[in-house]
Amino acid sequence: MAKRTVDVAVIGSGPGGLAAAIAAKKEGAGNVLVVERDVEMGGILLQCIHHGFGTEILGADLPGPAYAQRFEQEAISLGVETLLDTMVLDITPTRQIVAASESSGLLEVQARSIVLAMGCRERTRAQITLPGARPAGVYTAGMAQRFVNVEGFVPGRRIVILGSGDIGMIMARRLTFEGAKVARVVEIMPFLSGLMRNYVQCLLDFDIPLQLGHTISRIIGRRRVEAVEVVQVDDQWRPVPGTEEIIPCDTLLLSVGLIPENELSRNVGVALDPVTGGPYVDERFETTMPGIFAAGNVVHVYDLVDWVTEAGYVAGKHAARFAAGDRAGQLDYVRLEAGENVRYVVPHVLTRDQLPGESIKLQMRARQPIEKPVWVELRDGEKRLIRRAERYARPGEMLTLVLPERSYEDVRQAETLTVNVLER
């Protein structure tokens, strides 16, 4: 088996992994290696051909592949090494990586630190229990995106989409561009799950009907999808009898959410948060295993790729410092808890004595929508450390609270901090 040693190994070459590799190099790491199972770098962005990437950190409105290519080129020019078409099979607590590729077989890499950047995958039919036959013609929206945008094949002519997530809405427009008819988008929640911008520019613009508070109760068709049955649901998600409607279609796309991809993390013993589906991390994106960091959608599903890149920079920089031996003994943590109307907050803990010399972003999702002005606040019991006003809070849009350096002293005094999202 081929063997080599590197300072920082990054698993995955999406925007999270590329940013981590770039930052690790800039922090002075000698060998930085990116291992990617696909034959090209860039991750999922290669199939996201629509605009909307880079508005926050590049000040440009780019399509996904163009965004990815900028970071790929920067990584290469900094001397980041890559192993493509190579799948990581296992990592060990001592940070050995076992990978396989068709051309060189099994290989082993010993890394001083590792950045997990495997991204996320889509929820599938098995995870949402959709009754009915199992004919051909049911795909996730992301599979359809790859078919249409990379492989050049349009999966159907008349389409129903379950879920109002962004990928589903973007595919509704894309399939319309390719001459297909999108008969309906069906959402079980009483509110849109993706961004309003996508609702306007992907559905309204092309008169594609959206039905909130409805779900698909049955798939009809023996070999190929012939129709779906749509039904209204009550506030407990129970079908309301008598509201069934049959919609003829040859294809059903599922856009019902993304889950962080953490097989490798679980196997090595990294503790995972059941709420986010990703590792517990501190503000440097270190997981519960020393020297194993995580960046991007592997941690929690972001809504903007720009923030994935930023998270990658933080993880990569600290992975490089760890590789350089910058660690004295055990770390002591301050817990960060999701309080009122907060589903989760990342990071999960803050290091009491190692807080970096830069402000820290606390990113969270609200549990329930509040269509009124809100405060996003950080508290230590009775004491409020910081707060920020927002015009509203919605589960589909991540909220950010920046922890400034001047609050670090308060953080160090605390046992547990809580974030809340409250009506103003």
Q: Which residues bind another protein (CB under 8 A)?
A: 39-40, 42, 46, 49-51, 61-66, 68-69, 148-152, 174, 177, 195-197, 199-201, 204-205, 391-392, 397
Long-range Cβ contacts of 216-220 (<8 Å, 24+ apart):
216/130, 216/160, 216/162, 216/186, 216/252, 217/131, 217/132, 217/244, 218/131, 218/132, 219/130, 219/131, 219/132, 219/133, 219/134, 219/135, 219/138, 219/252, 220/132, 220/133, 220/246
Compute the residue count for the chain: 424
- Contact at 8 Å (CB) between 97 and 291? no
Among 118, 334, 364, 414, binds ligand FAD (CB under 6 A): 118
Residue 305 site contact among another protein, ligand FAD, none (CB < 5 to 8 Å, cut-off depends on kind): ligand FAD
The stretches of 147-227 forming alpha helices (DSSP H) are 166-177, 196-198
Piece of 115-123, 221-229, 361-369, 380-388 that binds ligand FAD (CB under 6 A): 115-123
- In angstroms, rounded to a whole number, what is the distance separating the alpha carbons of residues 187 and 212? 5
- Residues 289-348 binding ligand FAD (CB under 6 A) are 296-298, 302, 304-305, 308
Considering CB distances under 5 to 8 angstroms, the limit depending on partner class, which of ligand FAD, another protein, none binds residue 258?
ligand FAD
**Binding partner at 61 among another protein, ligand FAD, none, C-beta below 5 to 8 Å by kind:** another protein
Report how far residue 423's alpha carbon sits from residue 366's, in angstroms, rounded to the nearest whole number.
Answer: 12
Query: Binding to ligand FAD by residue 76, rule CB under 6 A?
Result: no
Q: Which of 21, 88, 228, 249 binds ligand FAD (CB under 6 A)?
A: 88
385 binds ligand FAD (CB under 6 A): no
- Return the range that interacts with ligand FAD (CB under 6 A); candidates 12-20, 127-135, 217-225, 282-290: 12-20
Q: What is the DSSP string of 375-391?
A: EEEEEETTEEEEEEEES
Integer Cα distance of 422 and 265 in angstroms: 34
Strands 105-116 and 96-101, by their bridges, are antiparallel
Report how far apart, in Å, the C-alpha atoms of 399 and of each of 6, 189, 366, 402 are: 36, 20, 8, 10
Report in angstroms how near the CB of residue 354 gets to ligand FAD at its nearest.
24
| CA–CA gap between residue 339 and residue 422 (Å, rounded) | 10
**260 belongs to the binding site for ligand FAD (CB under 6 A):** no
Q: How far is the CB of 75 from ligand FAD (least distance, A)?
A: 12
Residues 22-61 touching ligand FAD, rule: CB under 6 A, are 35-38, 43-45, 48
Provide, rounded to whole angstroms, the least separation between the CB of residue 193 and ligand FAD: 13
313 binds, among ligand FAD, another protein, none (CB under 5 to 8 A by kind): none
Binding-residue pattern over the window 199 to 238 for ligand FAD, x denoting contact by CB under 6 A: ----------------------------------------
Chosen from ligand FAD, another protein, none, partner binding at 177 (C-beta under 5 to 8 Å by type)? another protein
Q: Which does 391 bind (CB under 5 to 8 A by kind): ligand FAD, another protein, none?
A: another protein
Binding mask 145-184 for ligand FAD (x = CB under 6 A): x--------------------xx--x--------------
Contact assessment for residue 47 and residue 149, using Cβ atoms and an 8 Å cutoff: yes
Q: How far is CA 347 from CA 128, 299, 357, in A?
A: 28, 9, 16
DSSP one-letter code for 47: G
Q: Name the residue nearer to ligand FAD (CB basis): 11 or 360.
A: 11
Nearer to ligand FAD, 287 or 341 (CB): 287
List the structure tokens of 215: 């779900």
